[in-house]
Amino acid sequence: MSKIFRLHQKGASENIEHWQAISGHLTKDHINSIADPSGSSAHTQITSIPSPFARMDLVRTAFEFVNSAKNLDASTIYHRLVSDCLDVAEIFFNIEALQDKVEVLQWSTGIRVTAGELDIDPASDLGKLMNPGSGNAKHRLLGETLKMYLFQDRNAFNFADFKHCYLLNYKQGPELINIIGGTSPATLFFSSANDLSYVDIRFGNDKVFDDNFMPLYKRGKEFVKFLFSFRRHFPEFSVKFPDLHEYMEATYALLDPALKEAIRVLDADANAYKHAYNFLPVVAEGNNAEILGVPLRVKNYGVDPSTEENDFVIRPDEGKSVEGFMPLVLPKDAYNEPLRYAGGVWQSSYGEQVPYLDERALSERTLPNQHHIKYP
């Protein structure tokens, strides 16, 4: 009995003899029917696409897959990619409180339009790589390769407007430079494919880049509001980031009514994004970070953090006024009541981090399990 070998499952009833051309061409349905030998295992990173920008494309594909599955809570490799991407976004959002651990590095493409054609500014980071006088042939080859992909995929990845890429360097990692993610012209953010288990950053009860995948609708309300406000402020967001836009639409349907109302209020105010968040400065050049020309803003840590879902805020006597932030009264011993704390739920183990006496100045004290947040 003859055998027909094909990667995809479409057209299984076709009668084919020897080598024979298939009718038509491979469609998206053909590609989607190719069996995944790893079963979409969340423990197996996908790294086989031969492009310097493969990771950006994989993250975009992950959002597309999760959207098509209509399940934001599964545990496939695609859900891991989405979760890690959102971890990077949340680190950017909280960057002002994480400067002891993370720094932002700027890399400029130098893409510009000259006489109606795309060109590279020789003073940019990419232009310096391509400089014939650099004396390093490997640098020039890398630069020419990056330029080829930037120009070839300028429509698919919005590369024509991709002036800068901002990379997160985890300063406490095992290497001199530890890039854990950055900004993307395809999905706003992307994560590194490396093992990032060494990154010690937590938001609420969630540790970034762990095996507990966290969809957007389960994350802190202030971060969720920020992303929706960013979308509102970004011209043609649904056109430039269709997969992320669809994911956020699915997220909105799962939010609680109070958060939906807060997002609607932000959406009605065209200036909310500008007024509620700070610029993200890039110290190297004194410029503000941007994604496709739109400023990337971050959380304002001058705002009282105790107001964010916290049941431990001290309640003053009626009629009494308190200057500054309201202090938190935190339990030292085992305490298992399900009370809200810093965007998550208080865990009994946090009590081990609560000192009987904190000798640090009030301005230098940090919250248990949230050491990036300075609070009295």
Q: What are 256-284's pLDDT values in tens digits?
A: 999 999 999 999 988 899 888 988 877 55
Residue pair 144/156 in contact (Cβ under 8 Å)? The answer is no
Looking at residue 350, its pLDDT comes to: 79
Closest among 332, 368, 97 to 222, alpha carbons compared: 97
The average pLDDT across 110-118 equals: 85
Looking at residue 361, its pLDDT comes to: 84
Length of the chain, please?
Answer: 376
* DSSP calls for 278-346: EE-EETTTTEEPEETTEE-EE--TTS-GGGSS-TTB--PPTT----SSPPB---SS------EETTEE-
Looking at residue 287, its pLDDT comes to: 75
Closest among 162, 165, 160 to 118, alpha carbons compared: 160
Looking at residue 322, its pLDDT comes to: 66
Closest among 124, 93, 88, 91 to 107, alpha carbons compared: 124
The single-letter code of the amino acid at 251 is T
Q: Is the pLDDT of residue 357 over 90?
A: no
Closest among 246, 271, 248 to 260, alpha carbons compared: 248
Model pLDDT for residues 183-201, shown as the tens digit of each residue: 999 999 999 999 999 999 9
The average pLDDT across 62-80 equals: 96
Looking at residue 303, its pLDDT comes to: 61
The average pLDDT across 75-94 equals: 96
What's the mean pLDDT when you consider all of the chain? 83
Looking at residue 294, its pLDDT comes to: 95
Residue pair 76/40 in contact (Cβ under 8 Å)? The answer is yes
Residue pair 211/201 in contact (Cβ under 8 Å)? The answer is no
Looking at residue 325, its pLDDT comes to: 73
Q: Using CA atoms, how far apart are residues 243 and 62, in angstroms rounded to an integer?
A: 9
Residues 6+ apart with CB under 8 A from 174: 198
The average pLDDT across 327-355 equals: 75
What are phi and psi for residue 77, nearest 5 degrees?
-60, -30
Give the model's confidence band at 99: pLDDT under 50 very low, under 70 low, under 90 confident, else very high: confident
Looking at residue 291, its pLDDT comes to: 96
Q: Is the pLDDT of residue 28 over 60?
A: no
Q: Is the pLDDT of residue 80 over 90?
A: yes
